[in-house]
Amino acid sequence: MALPIVSAPMKKKKKPSLVLTLSATGLLIAGGSIAYRFFNQGQQFSRDLPIGANIIPQDALFAVSLTTDPQQWQQMHEFGTKETQAALNKNILQLRDRFLTQNGYNFEKDVQPWVGDEITLAILAPKGNKPPLKPVATDGDISPQQSMVIVLPVKNPQTAKSIWEKAKNPQQGQWVNRTYQGFAIKQTNGQAGENLSATLIDERFLVITDSLKATERAIDAYKNKASLANTAGFTENFPKISSDQPFAQFYVNVPTAAKIATTSPNRPLPAQVLAQLQNNQGLAGTMTLEAEGIRLKGVSWLNPNSQRVLAVENKAGKMQSRVPAETLMMLSGGNLKRLWGDYVLTSQGNPLSPVTPEQLRSGVKSLTNLDLDRDLLSWMKGEFSVSLIPNKPQDDTPEDFRAGLVFMVQASDRQSAEASLKQLDDVMKSQYQFQIQPTTVGGQPVVNWVSPFGTLTATHGWLDKDVAFLVIGAPVTDKIVPKPNNTLADTVPFQQTVPTEPDPTNGQFFMDVERTVKNFPLPSLISNQRTLLAATRSIGVTAAVSNNRSTRYDIFLALKKVNNSPVPKPAVTPSP
C-alpha cells in the first residue's frame, strides 16, 4: 500500500486533514513521522536521500516518504492490537477512497505497475510574508494557504505515460491543459480550493498537487535547484540515518514550522522562543520494520548560520548498570548542568514548556532555601539518571504495588555536593520537622528522612565515591546499595529494546511499558496515547551529539502482534 495517485474529487469535500494523511504511516509511533531517498539532478539515484528531494521546494513544512512494497505494509499490519489495526485500516481506506476509488482508480491495477519503490508527500509553507489565516498548529487541517505535493517516481515510463495521456475525465469539471517552463500540466477547473494539478517531469516523476501554484513551485524547485536536496544540512545529515528498504522516512523544516506556530491564536510562540528555534534547521527520521517492532533513526541539525553550537560530550552509559533488573523505567543523560542550560535557552517565556525555568528556580528556593543553579546544578556536571524501581516482585497485585523514584548524579565536586545535602537535611529538619537519621544499608552510610508521622520518606547517600543518590517514595535503597548483582543492563528486555548505537552515547531511555502502564497512570502527552501504549511492550532510546551542529537518536518500539490482519482493499468502482 502507498499514498495513491490523486485524481479529481467526485464532489466538494473538506481537504484531508494533515493528521489523517500522516496517521496512515503508523498510529504506532508517537508523533508519527517519516521519509526516504532521492533522485538527483544528474538523473541518477542516490540511496541516501528521499525520492523527490530534488523536486519538493525548500520551504516545505514537512516531507514524508512511504514504501510501496505490499509485503512491508502487511508486516506493519501484524503489529499492535485489534484497536490500533482497526484505526490504521480505517485511515488507509479513507485515503484510498478519497484519492482513488471515488475517481474510478485502483491502486493495484492503475498505479502499482508503474510506480517506484517509494513515494513522497510534502506540505508546502504559505507563499509570501503574510502569516496563514489558519496555521497547522490550530487543528491539523491543511489550510488554504498551504499546499500538498505528492511525488510518484516512475519505474515503467511507457505505462505511466499512457495513463498520463489517457487520464480519465474528472467526476466534476474537466482537465485543462497548459505548459509551464516546458512541462505539460493537467489541471482541473473545479471550485477554488478543490483544483488538482499534475505534471510528468522528464517521464521520471509524476507530480500531483492540490493547486496549480504548487505545481509551478515544484517545477521551479526542480529547474532552479531550490529544492530540499539543496537545503542547508540536508545532504550532509540524511546519510547518517540511511537504511536498506525503509518503511518510511520524514523531514521537518523546524524554523518554518515554528514561524507558522507563532500565529496560532491558542498557543502562540513568543518572539524570543522563535529566535531560538531559528537556530535549528531540520529534523529527520527513518523508520524500518523488524521482527519484533519498529526502529526509528533520527537526526536533528542546526542552521549553518547559527551562532549556537553543541557541546560534543557523550559520556553516558553507566547508570543502567547501577539499577536493578526489575527497574520499570530509566532516563539517563550525560551532563545535567549542561542539559539545564539548554532547557533555559529554549524555555524562557515559552508557553509550551511544562515548567518555566523561573518557576522551577523559585520553587526550589521556596521549598529548600537553596539556589538551584549555585547550590545544586553547579556540581551536577556528570552523568545522571531518573529511575522508577518497584519494591516488590513483579507478580504482586496492583493494590500492593509501590515504587521508589531514584535520582542519581555523578558529582564533579563532592565537597560542594555534601555541603548542599547537609543544607537539605537542615531544611527538612527545621522547616518540615522531619527526623534526620544517619544509618547504614548494605554496610554503607546513608541518611533517612522520616516524616513527623514516622514514615520513611526519602534516603540519600553515595555510590562509587562520586555518585550521589536520592530515593523518594517506596524504600528501595537496598536494591541499589550495594550494587545489584542482576542489573537492568543485564536484562533481555533492555538489551533487545535499547539501541546500542550511537556509541558513545549522551543519554538513554528505557520503559517496560506493559508493567509501567499496569501500575501507574501516565500523563497524557500525545493524542491516542492510551491506544499506542496498549500496543507497545517496551521502548528504548539512545542519543548522542554527532558534532557541534547535529544530534543523533535511535529509537526502538517493541510491539505486540496480531496475526491474520490483511491490508484492506477498497472496491474498484467509484463510491456513490
Q: pLDDT tens digits for 434-449?
A: 999 999 999 999 999 9
The reported pLDDT for the residue numbered 416 is 96
- d(CA 337, CA 381) in angstroms, rounded, equals 5
State which H helix or E strand residue 250 sits in: strand 248-253
Q: Binning pLDDT at 50, 70 and 90, where does residue 22 land? A: very low
Q: In this structure, is residue 566 part of a structural domain?
A: no
Residues 207, 149, single domain; the answer is yes
Contact yes or no for 450/461 (Cβ under 8 A) = no
Q: Show the cell assigned to 184.
A: 505539460
Judged by average pLDDT, the poorest of 29-38, 122-131, 178-187, 562-571 is 29-38
Closest to 263 measured CA to CA, from 143, 345, 148, 344: 143
Residue 374 reports pLDDT greater than 60: yes
- d(CA 17, CA 62) in angstroms, rounded, equals 14
- d(CA 535, CA 560) in angstroms, rounded, equals 5
Residues 271, 315, single domain; the answer is no
Q: In this structure, is residue 534 part of a structural domain?
A: yes
The reported pLDDT for the residue numbered 148 is 86
Residue 428 reports pLDDT greater than 80: yes
Judged by average pLDDT, the poorest of 44-48, 461-465, 545-549 is 44-48
The reported pLDDT for the residue numbered 271 is 59
Residue 463 β-bridge partners: 467
- d(CA 398, CA 381) in angstroms, rounded, equals 37
Average pLDDT, the chain: 80
Q: In this structure, is residue 441 part of a structural domain?
A: yes
Judged by average pLDDT, the poorest of 13-27, 177-191, 423-437, 438-452 is 13-27
Number of C-beta neighbours around residue 58 at 10 A: 18
Q: How far is CA 199 from the centre of its chain?
A: 32
Closest to 339 measured CA to CA, from 405, 375, 399, 383: 383
Q: Domain ends where: 287, 319, 335? A: 287
- How many structural domains comprise the chain? 2
Mean pLDDT calculated for residue range 502-516? 95
Alpha-carbon torsion (132, 136, 137, 141), positive or negative: positive
Residues 237, 331, single domain; the answer is no
Residue 417 reports pLDDT greater than 60: yes
Residues 335, 210, single domain; the answer is no
Alpha-carbon torsion (227, 228, 229, 234), positive or negative: positive
Residues 84, 198, single domain; the answer is yes
Phi, psi for 570 (deg, rounded to 5): -75, 165
- d(CA 42, CA 239) in angstroms, rounded, equals 18
The reported pLDDT for the residue numbered 97 is 61
* DSSP track, 353-378: SSS-HHHHHHHHHHHHS--IIIIIGG
Q: In this structure, is residue 402 part of a structural domain?
A: yes
Look at 82 and 265; give whichever has higher pLDDT.
82
Residues 357, 469, single domain; the answer is yes
Give the pTM: 0.82
Residue 391 reports pLDDT greater than 90: no
SS (H, E, C) 184-239: EEEEECCCCCCCCEEEEECCCEEEEECCHHHHHHHHHHHHHCCEHHHCCCHHHHHH
Instruction: Enumerate residues 6+ apart whose C-beta is below 8 A from 270.
Output: 349, 350, 351
Residue 358 reports pLDDT greater than 60: yes
Residues 376, 496, single domain; the answer is yes
Contact yes or no for 552/314 (Cβ under 8 A) = no
- d(CA 119, CA 151) in angstroms, rounded, equals 6
Contact yes or no for 136/143 (Cβ under 8 A) = yes
Q: Is 343 helix (H, G, I), strand (E, B) or coil?
A: helix
pLDDT in tens, 486-497: 999 999 999 999
- Rounded to 10 degrees, the C-alpha dihedral 526/528/534/536 comes to -50
Residues 275, 222, single domain; the answer is yes
Q: In this structure, is residue 305 part of a structural domain?
A: no
The reported pLDDT for the residue numbered 265 is 58
Its domain, for residue 283, covers: 18-287
Residues 343, 276, single domain; the answer is no
Q: In this structure, is residue 455 part of a structural domain?
A: yes
Q: In this structure, is residue 506 part of a structural domain?
A: yes
The reported pLDDT for the residue numbered 7 is 31
Residue 334 reports pLDDT greater than 50: yes
Residues 431, 330, single domain; the answer is yes
pLDDT in tens, 290-310: 999 999 999 999 988 888 889
N- to C-terminal Cα separation, the chain: 23
Residues 251, 344, single domain; the answer is no
pLDDT in tens, 29-49: 222 332 222 223 333 335 578
SS (H, E, C) 120-158: EEEEECCCCCCCCCCCHHHHCCCCCCCEEEEEEEECCHH
Q: In this structure, is residue 131 part of a structural domain?
A: yes
The reported pLDDT for the residue numbered 205 is 93
Residues 50, 122, single domain; the answer is yes
pLDDT in tens, 124-176: 987 754 443 333 333 334 444 678 899 999 998 888 777 777 776 666 667 88
Q: Binning pLDDT at 50, 70 and 90, where does residue 471 land? A: very high
